[in-house]
Amino acid sequence: MAEAKPILKRSDIDDKYKWKLEHLFETDEKWDEVFSDITKEVEAMDKFEGTLGKSADDLYECLSKNDKVCLVLDKLYVYSNMRLHQDSTNSFYQSQSNKAEMLLVKYMGKTAYIIPEIVDIPEEKLAFFMEEKEELKVYSHFLDNITRKNAHVLSPKEEALLAKTGEIANTAEDIFAMINDADIKFPEIRNEDGEMVPLTKGRYTLYMESEDREVRKAAFEALYDTYIKQKNTLAATYYSSVKKDVFYAQVRNYNSSLEAALDDDKIPVSVYETLVNSVHKYLPLMHRYVKIRKKILGVDELHMYDLYTPLVENADISINYEDAKAKILEALAPMGEDYIAALKEGFDGGWIDVYENEGKRGGAYSWGTYPGHPYVLLNQADNINSMFTIAHEMGHALHSYYTWKKMPYVYAGHKIFVAEVASTCNEALLMEYMLKTTTDKKARKYLINYFLEQFKGTFFRQTMFAEFEKLTHEAVENGEPLTCEGMCKMYHDLNRKYFGEDIVIDERIDMEWARIPHFYNAFYVYQYATGYTAAIALSRQILSEGKEAVDRYIDFLSKGNSEYSIDLLKGAGVDMTSVDPFEKAMAVFSDLLDKMEEEI
């Protein structure tokens, strides 16, 4: 295991490793000025109420003005939250973030009439508007996505009331974030050298990769014992979040909260179910992997804290940030010169916040706001996992980069269903490159295992998360309360199902659900699994077909959300409504298992 460095204060980190948020606002005073100006614009957004069905001009004026206001609100919200994420203990940015969120809630109330009024426009009249005013045609897909959900749109008065619940609806997620990012404190543990060292969320993965089993066990127990101390609060917080999801689904006349979540992007519920059923079909492969891991580690009992340590003794897995960037550039060369130039611009242009510091949000993400450049938050740990995280998040970033170059603001975003394809395709290409260029037998064995781990973590584990979400939401929909004990049993049983009989399902892992931030964005994580599946297919098309596949892929990146995700992926070359992508992904996983068994 690489030696853990002391956690630095943000002021101690070199500026070249910090993102440049001044590209959004030069100063906080400028943010205040823009906030004041846009507040007046938000207050005036209800002036269009009652006019949208009168004429094409009225409809266009409202939609175009709405885009301009949203663009500024996005910028305010993104800036204030990224400032907060770089140091969640900063009270100034806590306040600024709250101001931005309250303004967004106000905006939602002031514009709650827009969708109901569009829904009330007769189909023939709306078609006439589109023909009459050329400028309206840019909103064709946007309008179709509204009118197709007519049965789920309420009256203007009801929509306005629901909009006012927005701030309350975010309470569970906000409380969890404060517990998880700011308040929770982990104890020290003893490292390989017998020294007492601090445990953080950022360092937890590092410790779990340690070759010293006692270090892994100590980190595992210390982390989960800390969450267990908060178990009732965390259970109540998550239960509140699920009740919110069920409430919104029911008032909008959906059959389930799952259907409501997927309908936003017109994803059939059958896609979710096909994923879960496909994983269940191939769980014997996952159990086979666990058995291989137990054999290689040579332990009488395999525990949950044994799942992440490298299977190759003394494998050199350390790679610093600069070397990781260089390897990523080489690995993604098949994407073409334009893609590589954009990647270099991101690496050198102040897009990335690299290292962990006191108070910084854990994990990694890509964010930003149209029409500027995207940003990436990292917590670099100088290992292979961190290198793949860089490639992953830059996949998200370049997805935004290409979309923002081509699409108007109304289509500048990405549905998560396709967003995870862009990020994971980068990872798949990087893995193919590493396997081809690594000649050391021990290192190759490590990489084969790492690829297997990606399947385990992204395909199987995220689907287990997705199944947990489905079970918890169904329980609440059936009138059953969610208790800490009940969710822990549910989670324990899922671990047993997914990992099989060759591993001890340690009691502490039953609390893992309590530390997953994505659970506060319901039915999000399944898209990691579907995205991974699509990315495996696309990466192989890029490597085998060359320019033709790259052109399709860049076109896919450039379309934003101007089409439904299922159609976007079909255009790129993958049909996610069929079982075929899942079958092909599992064929790759099975082949990797064969290779690993040959190595041992």
Distance CA 290, CA 287 (A): 5
Residue 192 three-state SS = coil
Which among 393, 420, 427, 467 is annotated as catalytic? Answer: 393
Q: Provide the token pair at 513.
A: 């659900």
Peptide bond into 371 cis (omega under 30): yes
Distance CA 103, CA 433 (A): 47
Residue 367 three-state SS = strand
Among the listed residues 488, 482, 520, the one whose alpha carbon sits nearest the alpha carbon of residue 505 = 488
Distance CA 316, CA 311 (A): 12
* Interior/surface letters 539-569, b for 16+ CB within 10 angstroms, e for the rest: bbbbbeeeeebbebbbebbbbbbbbbbbebb
Residue 377's φ and ψ, nearest 5 degrees, are -100, 130
Bridge partners, 198 (sequence order): 188
Among the listed residues 375, 415, 420, the one whose alpha carbon sits nearest the alpha carbon of residue 82 = 375
Residue 29: count other Cβ atoms within 10 Å of its Cβ.
9
Distance CA 590, CA 448 (A): 12
CB 309 within 8 A of CB 209: yes
Q: Is 192 a catalytic residue?
A: no
Distance CA 451, CA 449 (A): 5
97: number of CA atoms within 13 Å, CB side? 17
Q: Report the 3 state secondary structure along 162-177.
A: HHHCHHHHCHHHHHHH
Distance CA 290, CA 452 (A): 11
Among the listed residues 524, 528, 533, the one whose alpha carbon sits nearest the alpha carbon of residue 569 = 533
Residue 584: count other Cβ atoms within 10 Å of its Cβ.
15
Bridge partners, 189 (sequence order): 197
Distance CA 123, CA 138 (A): 17
Bridge partners, 368 (sequence order): 374
Q: Provide the token pair at 600.
A: 């041992």
Q: Which distant-in-sequence residues (6+ apart) come within 8 Å of 106 by Cβ?
A: 42, 43
Residue 25: count other Cβ atoms within 10 Å of its Cβ.
19
Among the listed residues 7, 3, 361, the one whose alpha carbon sits nearest the alpha carbon of residue 215 = 3
Active-site residues, by number, are 393
